[in-house]
Amino acid sequence: MRILPRSPIRSCCQQLGMLVIMLHTLAVVNGFYLPGLAPVNFCKKSDVSSTCKSDVILYVNRLNTEESVIPYEYHHFDFCLGKEENSPVENLGQVVFGERIRPGPYNIQFLENVECAKACTKTYKGGQTDSDRRMMVLKKGISLNYQHHWIVDNMPVTWCYQLENGKQYCSIGFPMGCLVRQDSDGCPINSMYNKPLHYYPFNHVDLEITYHSGAAEEWGSIPSSGRIISVKVSPKSINHVDPEKPNCQSTDPLAIKDSSLKSGEVLNIVYTYGVKFTQNNDVKWSSRWDYILESMPHTNIQWFSILNSLVIVLFLSGMVAMIMLRTLHKDIARYNQMDSGEDAQEEFGWKLVHGDVFRPPRKGMILSVFLGSGVQVLVMSMITLGFACLGFLSPANRGALMTCSMVLFVSLGTPAGYVSARIYKSFGGVKWKSNVILTSIVCPGVVFSLFFVMNLVLWGENSSGAVPFSTLVALLALWFGVSVPLTFVGAYFGFRKRALEHPVRTNQIPRQIPDQSIYTQPIPGIVMGGVLPFGCIFIQLFFILSSLWSNQMYYMFGFLFLVFLILIITCSETTILLCYFHLCAEDYHWWWRSFLTSGFTAVYLFIYCCHYFVTKLSIKDSASTFLYFGYTAIMVFLFFLLTGTIGFFACFWFIRKIYSVVKVD
């Protein structure tokens, strides 16, 4: 045995150092924001021209709540409706996420203040089946605290109020009403709403629209024009005695009893609104999202603490890598000192299993399929996060994140087929047809099957989150019309390439593996392997889950991209370290173990999602519980493929490097 002139240890250290420098550079670089949306100029109705418009259209979106996973469309709760034929076209991501944007019933003209205007009147008569059903749906929505989500000029309409610490919190949704359950309860909006077992629907809204008015030379505007920078709402419950002459100054709230309406009893709910325009030239149009993002309590965190945690994780993973490299260097130096024939026969450690380390694993077909799909998810995640960091997938561009992810996943069928074919051929596999079919069907099929089952539940609940049948057909067309053919193309080129040549030959007879200690057995090693990678993501995981289930807005893509890079490094180094220990213990079954070691991080992800469900959410109904864990299963499965693939290829590269250093005569 001899050492090759150029050892990979030094180059590996250099590459690690370069990665550390890159991560530190990313941490200090200032981000920039490119929403990709052009500003809209508004002006008075008398000054309408080709450069400005007077109609301020208020759009209503689906309603959702933290107490249920099931969203509903605006018209589900029998509110006033606008002209739905003028609804904007939704992209694929919005449809999949369940967003249903429709024009609202409010007539708003720029710079025209409105004190009290009626949108419509909804009448309920006791004893009528349809009326009782509509009232029951309205009460259920109020009791579950469903939230309105309105949009004006692509800005969310916010509901701002003071917190206990004196700071202002601006929510991107506001409740449709409140329920006073007992004497000790009260409505958070108004202490006068205090009758026990009464519902208070918020049938009046005061809209304060703030605009920035610039000079004509700024954007070619005309007098009395401007750009909207914020829209804030103040909901109220008002008992309008005369539906034809509503009194918006009344302090008498509309209280609806918990019991059903008596036969023949009539209840009128008059929906009214007021509009007030306020000029503010201190805030620029490009900074109009700042007050929303800065006021959120779940995102108002100490940035230094997050960065400090990430640096600690990176430091620990760097220390692990350096310890491993120093040990490897000593091993190679010790092998190099074996000059006599007697010493050369005393092989030990990882060199002893050189004739079995590249022996094909069991179930190599499934492993190659998982690796192909894992590469697909990995590349999709990197490109999507790259675009998100540049601002193209910002919250202002609704549905763009999901649309980009799905399009990229479908378009990346070629690398999935190529990687799967190359790995399967290196295992000595010959069933190339089965390999390419399974690669294009298994993992996407698992995700689509779970999604379809949950969609059936949403259909049964008449939820807006249910994807229409036409969209399901479009998704199937993308899958079988684009992804599957591209997978076949990638597999074709993968199988045409020569099989991977390993640096050492494989013995015909497998070597017997000695008894292993508890630390080098498969299950303890796999369980320990996912701890450190999970430790570097759980901080960001909380904010991601809050944006998914608690109606928070996620925008920290720069930190997320940094965490993603550290996750890749941590998964790689942890898997390599444990793989080295197993090889030193003369256990050469590393193929599946390398995939499962880093892939076990997904199990910790699932446990954390269960913890979040129990501690942060108030979901009680069975349908919402099923949907939560169904969507969690999709996320965990994709994360399992992602992290498992990272660990496998890191270990694959490591083993090829160390066995290429030694030469067995």
The secondary structure of residue 188, as a DSSP letter, is S
78 Cβ partners below 8 Å, 6+ apart?
122, 134, 137, 138
pLDDT at 93: 86
Total length of the chain: 665
pLDDT at 348: 58
CA dist., res. 120 & res. 143, Å (int): 23
Alpha-carbon torsion 337, 341, 343, 346, what sign? positive
Asked if 120 and 105 count as a contact pair (C-beta separation under 8 A), the reply is: yes
Continuous H helices in 530-621? 531-535, 538-549, 557-584, 591-599, 601-615
Task: Report the alpha-carbon angle 83-84-90, nearest 5.
Answer: 140
CA dist., res. 262 & res. 524, Å (int): 66
10-residue mean pLDDT series, the chain (665 residues): 36 38 37 55 83 90 91 92 83 86 92 92 91 93 93 91 78 90 72 86 94 62 76 93 88 89 89 94 86 63 59 72 71 60 54 78 92 96 92 80 92 94 89 92 94 94 91 93 95 88 77 72 85 84 85 79 87 87 82 92 95 90 94 96 95 86 62
CA dist., res. 575 & res. 594, Å (int): 6
540 Cβ partners below 8 Å, 6+ apart?
306, 556, 559, 560, 563
The radius of gyration of the chain from alpha carbons, rounded to an integer in Å, stands at 31
Q: Give SS3 for 648.
A: helix
Place of tokens 């508890």: 518
pLDDT at 301: 54
The secondary structure of residue 355, as a DSSP letter, is T
pLDDT at 645: 96
pLDDT at 581: 83
Q: Give how far Cα 565 sits from Cα of 201, 311, 558, Å.
A: 48, 12, 11
| Cα distance from N-terminal residue to C-terminal residue, the chain | 6
CA dist., res. 402 & res. 384, Å (int): 9
CA dist., res. 103 & res. 119, Å (int): 13
Alpha-carbon torsion 175, 176, 182, 185, what sign? positive
CA dist., res. 548 & res. 646, Å (int): 26
Closest CA to 408 of 486, 352, 463, 292: 486
What residues pair up with 375 in beta bridges, in sequence order?
Answer: none
Strands of 141-224, DSSP E: 147-148, 150-152, 155-156, 159-162, 168-171, 174-175, 177-180, 198-201, 204-212
Q: Give how far Cα 412 sits from Cα of 92, 419, 465, Å.
A: 18, 11, 27
State phi, psi for 467 to the nearest 5 degrees. Answer: -75, 130
pTM of the model: 0.85
Task: Report the alpha-carbon angle 77-79-81, nearest 5.
Answer: 125
Closest CA to 655 of 5, 6, 8: 8
pLDDT at 264: 83
Closest CA to 453 of 285, 626, 601: 626
Task: Report the alpha-carbon angle 648-654-659, nearest 5.
Answer: 125
Secondary structure percentages of the chain, helix, strand, coil, to 5: 50, 15, 35
Two structure tokens written together for 617: 């959410």
Closest CA to 286 of 34, 51, 111: 34
Give the DSSP H or E segment for 65: strand 63-65
Continuous H helices in 394-537? 400-411, 413-426, 432-460, 469-478, 484-496, 522-529, 531-535
625 Cβ partners below 8 Å, 6+ apart?
613, 619
Closest CA to 313 of 569, 651, 595: 569
Cα 357–chain centre separation: 38
- Strands 204-212 and 266-279, by their bridges, are parallel
